């Protein structure tokens, strides 16, 4: 059976082999910072320069990173599945642009993007791949209220209507490199499965929500995802291993 609508959800693990650190490291720090210093709305009030500089550094580092085989396999699936009459919706929690660099045309960035700025006053968002600062002026409303376009803890992710509609319509749900501890993304599998989608996770190890999936493929995403996509594109069937849940 060919799957009509595939939803792919990616997390930090898909970019790990491109040299971008995952969030939940053993130190509990994200790029040497406490999450509450750089990733909550209060941080912007308390120390806006620290927040801007943190994302400036990350944005500059991003320019030195390349997509890996997992990003490229997902882009290939997105490009070739429609030729079989299907559709692929790619949702990422990542703020990097490695899916785009790999050739994915439509990427839903539910947690925002490093290469984007947001005006806290008028709500407009615009492309930006240079450093930003708390003194920046919004090009639209001229307010001094420019911030990194990142969805902080406590804020509502972007595109939730679009994502919910895709999950409701999909018959295959794939999660790649996400720990399953941050909601609402961690609940997507349960929702898709309730709508009768087959659910598969790709991770180094079982995620916090592994039992919600039908099965998992465990190992480096740069190896498991290309193998899965190749098999799916050739046979229309899902690649399985002994490590089914």
Q: Contact between 22 and ligand APR (CB under 6 A)?
A: yes
Q: Contact between 178 and ligand APR (CB under 6 A)?
A: yes
Q: Contact between 24 and ligand APR (CB under 6 A)?
A: yes
How big is the CA angle at 154 (ends 55 and 50), to the nearest 5 degrees?
Answer: 25
Report the residue from 3, 6, 7, 11 that binds ligand APR according to the rule CB under 6 A: 11
Count CA atoms closer than 13 A to 146's CA, side-chain side.
Answer: 22
Size of the site for ligand APR (CB under 6 A): 21
Complex with ligand APR: residue 98 or 138, whichever CB lies closer = 98
Catalytic entry in 109, 111, 140, 214:
111
Q: Contact between 111 and ligand APR (CB under 6 A)?
A: yes
Q: Contact between 78 and ligand APR (CB under 6 A)?
A: no
Q: Phi, psi (5° rounding) for residue 74?
A: -65, -40
Residues 6+ apart with CB under 8 A from 63: 129
Q: Pick from 193, 183, 194: which is nearest to 215 by CA?
A: 193
Q: Is 32 exposed, middle or buried (0-12, 13-18, 19+ CB in 10 A)?
A: exposed
Which range, of 42-50, 97-105, 190-198, 202-210, touches ligand APR by CB under 6 A? 202-210
**Which residues of the shown chain bind ligand APR in the complex (CB under 6 A)?**
11-13, 16-17, 22-24, 93, 111, 177-179, 182, 202-205, 207, 220-221
């Amino acid at each position: 059976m060919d799957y009509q609508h595939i939803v792919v959800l990616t997390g930090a693990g898909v970019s790990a082999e491109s040299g971008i650190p995952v969030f939940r490291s053993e130190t509990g720090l994200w790029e040497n910072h406490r999450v509450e210093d750089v990733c909550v709305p209060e941080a912007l009030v308390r120390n806006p320069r620290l927040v801007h500089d943190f994302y400036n550094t990350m944005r500059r580092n991003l320019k030195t990173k390349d997509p890996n085989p997992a990003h490229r396999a997902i882009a290939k699936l997105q490009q070739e599945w429609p030729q079989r009459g299907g559709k692929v919706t790619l949702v990422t929690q990542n703020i990097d642009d490695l899916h785009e660099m790999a050739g994915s045309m439509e990427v839903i960035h539910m947690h925002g993007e490093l290469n984007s700025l947001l005006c806290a006053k008028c709500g407009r968002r615009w492309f930006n791949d240079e450093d930003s600062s708390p003194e920046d002026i919004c090009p639209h409303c001229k307010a001094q209220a420019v911030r990194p376009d990142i969805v902080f803890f406590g804020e509502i992710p972007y595109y939730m209507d679009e994502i919910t509609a895709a999950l409701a319509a999909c018959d295959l749900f794939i999660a790649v490199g996400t720990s399953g501890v941050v909601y609402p993304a961690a609940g997507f599998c349960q929702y898709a499965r309730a709508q009768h989608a087959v659910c598969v996770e790709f991770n180094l190890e079982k995620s916090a929500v592994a039992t919600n999936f039908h099965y998992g493929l465990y190992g480096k995403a740069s190896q498991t995802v290309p193998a899965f996509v190749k098999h799916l594109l050739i046979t229309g069937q899902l690649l399985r291993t002994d490590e089914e849940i």
